[in-house]
Amino acid sequence: MRPVISPRIWLLVAVLPLLLTACSPTREIARRNTATPSATEAAPLDATTRTVIQTAKSYAGTPYKYGGTTRAGMDCSGLVYTSFLAADKTLPRSSSAMAQTGTPVDRKNLRPGHLVFFSYNTAGKVGHVGLVIQVKNGDAEFIHATTQLGVTTSWLSDPHWDSRFVKAIIP
């Protein structure tokens, strides 16, 4: 005599594979979550840009000091100025003067080594600068010096920085 399989077991056998595949991410979702960086994000850095970024990163944690350009204290434009000087490239000393140099670049086309500028007033006058150190998933991470945290990194998409963004340049 053959064993009798109940209709419930048949239903379970038929539906279980569908339930298991319905709960797993689709290939498209998996592809989106593990997307490789775009060509601009993955492009190798030239020696000058590498030097500038490595120098800036070496100041991480340095306390803020207005007008500072040393490990004892650093302000935002001092960090950028000193980092570029390490690569034998001279920039103006203030963030507002830096913003008047270089080639403007669209925010969507940022790359490591570009400078991003911010304003703290409604007139849009530049008062802060950061150095882009990486671009990931269309968002730029930049290093800068803040009064509260000293030399630190932030993402351009952070609401605080996003709302204060003025422009970006290729120095």
- SS3 for 1-20, per residue? CCCCCCHHHHHHHHHHHHHH
Identify the residue whose tokens are 């490591």: 112
pLDDT at residue 16 in the model = 39
Going by pLDDT thresholds of 50, 70 and 90, the confidence category of residue 21 is: very low
pLDDT computed for residue 142 by the predictor: 98
Q: Is the pLDDT of residue 138 over 60?
A: yes
Give me the residues paired with residue 128 across strands. 118
Stretch 125-132: mean pLDDT:
97
Average pLDDT of the segment spanning 108-121:
96
pLDDT tier at 160, thresholds 50, 70, 90 = very high
Residues forming the active site: 76, 128, 144
